[in-house]
Amino acid sequence: MNSSFEGDLIRPLGLVTLYFGYVEAEVNTLLDMLRDCGLTVDVSPVAPLGRRLSVFAKGLSGFRCAEGAEVLELLEESKLLINRRNALVHASILAKGRVIPNDPSRLEFSVTPEKLMALADEAFTWKERLNAAVQRRLLPALRQRIVDNNAFNTD
């Protein structure tokens, strides 16, 4: 970790926010690509990220193939990242990394600049893995399915 962040929670928290913004933009782009291939993924681009990912998974649920299974696994993996992010953004972060959730049923916890940087890096890496799985493997499989279906539907 960069020593300039030592004890500074603001900059690493900003990177968490920035990288999750990248995640959200990437998810919207991938949803558009899936729509173009005929999958039903009807969700607003400003819906909560978890909702968009649920619709993404539901749209893929009928497409049974290894490429679809890989993406579904990645979407399942995202739940933990989103929960970790939400625990931070729906809380008060005080001095020395003390985090008091706004939900009184949740326990107080601590965060460090290192933990925030790790979360930001995990979100960015997850986004890249999802992008590769969709663009390099799933979309070609979906496009091939369209070609195969059109081959059988010629008059």
pLDDT tens digits along 54-108:
999 998 887 788 999 999 999 999 999 999 999 999 999 998 899 999 999 999 9
Closest CA to 56 of 134, 141, 115, 135: 134
Q: How far apart are CA 84 and CA 76, in angstroms?
A: 14
Interacting residues of 25 by C-beta distance below 8 A, sequence separation 6+:
none
pLDDT tens digits along 105-140:
999 999 999 999 999 999 999 999 999 999 999 999
Q: How far apart are CA 144 and CA 147, in angstroms?
A: 5
Closest CA to 78 of 128, 35, 29, 144: 128
Q: What is the pLDDT of residue 5?
A: 55
DSSP string, 94-138: -GGGEEEESSTTSPPEE--HHHHHHHHHHHHHHHHHHHHIIIIII
Q: What is the mean pLDDT of residues 132-152?
A: 84
